Amino acid sequence: MLPPIEELLERLHVVSLPMRVRFRGITVREVALIDGPSGWGEFGAFVEYEPPEAASWLASGIESAYGARVPVVRAAIPINATVPAVPAAQVPSVLERFPGARTAKVKVAEPGQVLADDVARVNAVRAVIPTVRVDANGGWTVDEAVAAARALTADGALEYIEQPCRTVAELADVRARVGVAVAADESIRKASDPLAVVHAHAADVAVVKVAPLGGVSALLGIAAQIDIPVVVSSALDSAVGIAAGLRAAAALPRLDHACGLGTGGLFVEDVADITPVDGGLPVVDIQPEPARLAALAAPADRRDWWIARVRTCYPLLMSPRLN
């Protein structure tokens, strides 16, 4: 049952988190946090997302703030380092923020860059971390993905290539033509049927994110219907959203790969700290620090923008897809 919207808005804290490097084209990450009776929740749909898509993120935040915690089967989650599309020379300084990580996810196919930039970045990561995966965010055509797979594996293996192309059919084509595992992300979290990519045998790994899928319970329901390995990843969440991702990963009966939940290292400041230990993060509830909430509070006009967004998305939570 949904809380009254006025109560929800009274519990809302909008924060602006400065980033160390540009990621997804932004240098400041805005999120709205909900101080609920069950704990804290996060509504952080990226600002360009339209209400129908953003509503799933609001459902996720409400679940964390008002719902019961799912039972977990592990106390810590191995995480990958996340390397934005930085020049190769900056890779060592980025990796320093992920102590103990033995897997790294490297962003590739960045607009304005070329394949040689990706190869240099990946090789710089390989010099420090043994297991490397790359994420193209659907930025290649099939032929470009095939060429990239060859170039990026010339000097070492890849664990997988995440979302090399946009469509399920293209993922299946790439998977048939390269000797590298293919992971699906956008083809799950942005799809009207998040299981379509699995049913089409178009991926070897399913990357799932709590907020876009509507919450921990929704993610676990989807994961239960997937017969390939699952990786729980962040949607550039604050510590509050990361905690929800950790709970989801901790509740999975099977977890074969490091999860993409270490993106807090990309922020200059966060609302709370979750400290990595030996390449993993503990499964904990997060209580944002009042002083940090105050220091990171978004300007009044941005708070008003998020309040208006909640008002727009809230009625959409009555949709059968979100219930």
Please state the residue numbers annotated as binding site: 135, 162, 185
302: tokens are 């941005």
- Nearest Cα to Cα of residue 305 among 28, 48, 72, 27: 48
Residue type for position 109: A
In angstroms, the CA 84 to CA 266 distance is 9
* H or E stretch at 31: strand 26-36
Q: Are 40 and 9 in contact (CB under 8 A)?
A: no
3-class secondary-structure state, position 299: coil
Counting beta carbons within 10 angstroms of the beta carbon of residue 9, is it exposed (0 to 12), middle (13 to 18) or buried (19 or more)?
Answer: middle
Catalytic residue among 11, 209, 257, 309: 209
Per the annotation, binding residues for Mg(2+) are 135, 162, 185
Would you call 107 a catalytic residue per the annotation? yes
Asked if 30 and 302 count as a contact pair (C-beta separation under 8 A), the reply is: yes
Phi, psi of 244, deg, nearest 5: -65, -40
Pairing of strands 26-36, 12-23: antiparallel
CA angle 99, 119, 161 (to 5 degrees): 75
Structure tokens at 205: 């790994």
Gap between the Cα atoms of 3 and 62, Å rounded = 8
Catalytic residue flag (residue 209): yes
The single residue of 107, 121, 257, 303 carrying the catalytic annotation is 107
Q: Report the DSSP pairing between strands 76-78 and 26-36.
A: unpaired
Do the bridges between strand 81-83 and strand 103-107 make them parallel or antiparallel, or are there none, so unpaired?
parallel
What is the 3 state secondary structure string of 193-223?
A: CCCHHHHCCCCCEEEEEHHHHCCHHHHHHHH
Structure tokens at 8: 């929800």
Q: Tell me which residues are annotated as active site.
A: 107, 209
